[in-house]
Chains A and B, each alone.
Chain A
Amino acid sequence: MKISEYSEKQLVDLLKRGHLLLSLKPFVTRVQSDIVSIARDIALMYGDFETCPIDSFADFHVSVVQETGILGWMKPRARFYFDGRPSFVPLPVDQAFAMLEWGLNWCIAAHSHQYLVIHAAVVEREGRAAILPGAPGAGKSTLCAALITRGWRLLSDELALFDMETSVLYGTCRPVNLKNTSIDIIKQFAPQVVMTESVADTTKGTIALMRPPTGSVSMVESPAHPAWVVLPRYLPSAPPKLESHSRAETFMLIAEQSFNYDIHGANGFNAVGNLIDRSQCYEFTYSKLEDAVSVFDGLCLGRIG
């Protein structure tokens, strides 16, 4: 059954009892929460996702719980629990859903060593993937959000799961994290997108999450073949410029941006090498999303590279 088929009241109830098993393929996450806004945001962001029966195997058991006690009463805060154990510092309760998202990222990054887990956005077209590794502030999420409103499929805006045996990429197709001015830029660029309410004053500034496109969610199990690694760089009022980037430097960047590169040892080294061998490597400077979209379309049509 899809999340969109539940009423908000049903979701609140399932969350309260910890009976919501959300299918975030290839993972299943069991979520518990007493915070009503989380039910609302799950309905808004995960409407196209399936749930699993209560007796299914869940990869991650997470809770986001409002803190009790005097401090909780004075200034409500929420805390993330991984299988009953508190993790991360508590945050103001209006950041509860964002905290759930960050917590899930951590769950995946810390426990999924069947993959090389790379901190990067991944979008796909015609089976070929563009990997956008993420230096914070470089605009990978903004670029990713723009591309998926113009024909590219979302794999992930945060965690690329590289299957080292078959050399293909997976993503969980979860909501896209937007920060600060990116929120309004994307709203203007694609007025049809669905976003959560913006939450101000987080450690990352103002944040909002964007609902993943229905078409991308329905294809979440289809992998994509690595074709391009593009290092985005947002530069105000710069013309779009796509330049070849050193393959060695791109290798080092991907290795550095992988959460479990060290755990895989020689296999990790070979996997990154393999990924780079299969990809054209670019640095991309841009200021306007329209320009960016046409450059990426050009990449896909083989006009560039």
Chain B
Amino acid sequence: MNERVLIVSALTDTGILSGLSSAEWDLLIRQGRRANLLARLAYQMTADDLMNAVPEQPRLHLISALRMVERQNKAMHWEVQCILKALGSAEADVILLKGAAYVMAGLPAANGRTFSDIDILIPKRRIAEAESQLMLNGWQGTHHDDYDQRYYRQWMHEIPPMRHIKRGTTIDVHHAILPESARLKINTPALFQNVVELPGYKQLFVLSPEDMLLHSATHLFHEGGLENGLRDLFDLDSLFRSFSEAPGFWEKLVPRASELGLSRPLYYAIRFCTMMLSTPIPGEVVAESRIGKPLAAISILMDFCYKRALRPAHESCSTAGTGLARACLYVRSHWMRMPFPLLVCHLVRKAIRNSAPPSWDAPLARDLN
């Protein structure tokens, strides 16, 4: 169970790639594609000057994946410009989150990373105005059903995702980083105090290094689906590595987690990054972070679950208990998201409405013959 899957071994040490057989390359490309880490691997290999040594067939898949993210990266810059233009008159500072933040701040976590949407954070009092500005500029609301509207607006930390009618891009507008109904109560006003303005832009910000890492951890360890769990763990690994140079990062990290109410997700981030990806984290920070450690029994259960769920959702990575682990984490994510009575009502409504599970991999809508 503790052995690393091939894609993790390859990303943590590209040196192993020189000895791979055709069958191993086959498996590596499949795992990488499923985990949305293929382009990251391609980026890493290009940086290590290993691309030319790769057999042609797998190399073409790596290059394909790289082209895709390079394009997304460009599109991200354009999309952010469009969002700023739309929100310009709302006088609202825009804080980019997750992938959009990594790209626009030029962080290594953006290298080879794919995106499906853009996440922004703005103060709650500005939400209504921002929403109407976005609507005036071509973004349309989704989830028109009354229940969904209430679900988002009353309990969630974001409004329903908005999609641009022409470009088809999606924006998630957040006013907090966890649902209002969540068990974990976050000091949201404090989040807005340490933001960092991006040079060359007006009113465009990212979270401070500590907060960016804490948000990434919070997102991963509150998620239920975890289709991109391993990718998100690599994001954390990359953030830890690049911020280790930032002045005062390690000293501020654990105290800041306590201040925001995010000691638990930070504990998990450090535990699973060090355990699964050998992320270098100073011993005293690891020790300090244990204030976020849950009760022993829960800790054992979480180890069981995340060791299995933070692997590619690929048949070659399933082990005994993978299904159970994913199911547990799915239930947990709902448990964390809202109080029990509300959760029961919500799940019953969802169960009645969609008896079929959502499809993960909607293929191209185009007519292929």
A: residues with CB less than 8 A from B are: 28, 55-59, 61, 82-88, 101-102, 105-106, 109-114, 119, 136, 158, 177, 204, 259, 262-265
B: residues with CB less than 8 A from A are: 21-23, 25-26, 29-30, 33-34, 55, 57-58, 60-61, 63-64, 67-68, 70-71, 74, 314-315, 359-361, 363-364, 366-369
- CB pair A111 B64 closer than 8 Å: yes
* Residue among A59, A82, A109, A113 having the largest count of chain B Cβ atoms under 10 Å: A113
- CB pair A114 B64 closer than 8 Å: yes
What are the residues of chain B within 8 A of A262 when measuring CB–CB?
71
- CB pair B21 A55 closer than 8 Å: yes
Interface majority SS on B: helix, strand, loop or mixed?
helix
What are the residues of chain B within 8 A of A87 when measuring CB–CB?
361, 363
B69: min CB distance to chain A, Å: 10
- CB pair A113 B363 closer than 8 Å: no
Name the one of A83, A111, A259 contacting B366, with C-beta atoms under 8 angstroms.
A259
- CB pair A113 B68 closer than 8 Å: yes
- Which chain B residue has the least Cβ–Cβ distance from A54? B23
- CB pair A83 B30 closer than 8 Å: yes
- Which chain B residue has the least Cβ–Cβ distance from A266? B74
B51: min CB distance to chain A, Å: 13
Instruction: Report the Cα distance A57→B364, complex, angstroms.
Output: 25
Name the one of A59, A82, A265 contacting B361, with C-beta atoms under 8 angstroms.
A82
A160: min CB distance to chain B, Å: 14
- Which chain A residue has the least Cβ–Cβ distance from B31? A83
- Which chain A residue has the least Cβ–Cβ distance from B359? A86
Instruction: Report the Cα distance A265→B359, complex, angstroms.
Output: 30
Given contacts A114-B64, A264-B67, contact A106 B364 (CB under 8 A): yes
- CB pair A85 B361 closer than 8 Å: yes
10 A-B pairs in the complex with CB atoms less than 8 angstroms apart: A56-B22, A57-B22, A59-B61, A86-B361, A106-B364, A109-B366, A110-B363, A111-B61, A136-B367, A264-B67
A163: min CB distance to chain B, Å: 11
- CB pair A112 B60 closer than 8 Å: yes
- Which chain A residue has the least Cβ–Cβ distance from B367? A136
- Which chain A residue has the least Cβ–Cβ distance from B368? A105
5 A-B pairs with the lowest CB-CB distances in the bound complex, closest first: A113-B64, A105-B368, A57-B22, A113-B67, A57-B57
What are the residues of chain A within 8 A of B363 when measuring CB–CB?
82, 87-88, 106, 110
Q: How many A-B residue pairs have CB under 8 A?
A: 76
Instruction: Report the Cα distance A102→B25, complex, angstroms.
Output: 26
What are the residues of chain A within 8 A of B63 when measuring CB–CB?
113-114
A300: min CB distance to chain B, Å: 27
Instruction: Report the Cα distance A84→B369, complex, angstroms.
Output: 23
* Residue among A112, A114, A119, A262 having the largest count of chain B Cβ atoms under 10 Å: A114
- CB pair B26 A58 closer than 8 Å: yes
- CB pair A57 B26 closer than 8 Å: yes
- CB pair B369 A105 closer than 8 Å: yes
What are the residues of chain A within 8 A of B57 when measuring CB–CB?
28, 57, 59
Name the one of B23, B315, B367 contacting A84, with C-beta atoms under 8 angstroms.
B315
B166: min CB distance to chain A, Å: 13
What are the residues of chain B within 8 A of A85 when measuring CB–CB?
34, 360-361
- CB pair B369 A109 closer than 8 Å: no
What are the residues of chain A within 8 A of B366 when measuring CB–CB?
109, 119, 259
What are the residues of chain A within 8 A of B360 when measuring CB–CB?
85
Given contacts A55-B21, A265-B71, contact A84 B314 (CB under 8 A): yes
- CB pair A265 B74 closer than 8 Å: yes
- CB pair B25 A204 closer than 8 Å: no
What are the residues of chain B within 8 A of A101 when measuring CB–CB?
369
What are the residues of chain B within 8 A of A263 when measuring CB–CB?
67-68, 71
What are the residues of chain A within 8 A of B30 when measuring CB–CB?
61, 83
A251: min CB distance to chain B, Å: 20
A57: min CB distance to chain B, Å: 4
Knowing that A106-B368, A264-B71 are A-B contacts, what are 14 other residue pairs whose CB atoms are under 8 Å apart, sorted by A's residue number?
A55-B21, A57-B58, A61-B30, A83-B30, A83-B34, A84-B314, A102-B368, A109-B368, A114-B64, A177-B369, A263-B67, A263-B68, A265-B70, A265-B74
- CB pair B34 A112 closer than 8 Å: no
Given contacts A57-B25, A109-B364, A114-B60, contact A102 B67 (CB under 8 A): no
Instruction: Report the Cα distance A177→B309, complex, angstroms.
Output: 42
Instruction: Report the Cα distance A85→B227, complex, angstroms.
Output: 12
B25: min CB distance to chain A, Å: 5
What are the residues of chain B within 8 A of A204 when measuring CB–CB?
369
What are the residues of chain B within 8 A of A84 when measuring CB–CB?
314-315
B364: min CB distance to chain A, Å: 6
A77: min CB distance to chain B, Å: 14
B29: min CB distance to chain A, Å: 8
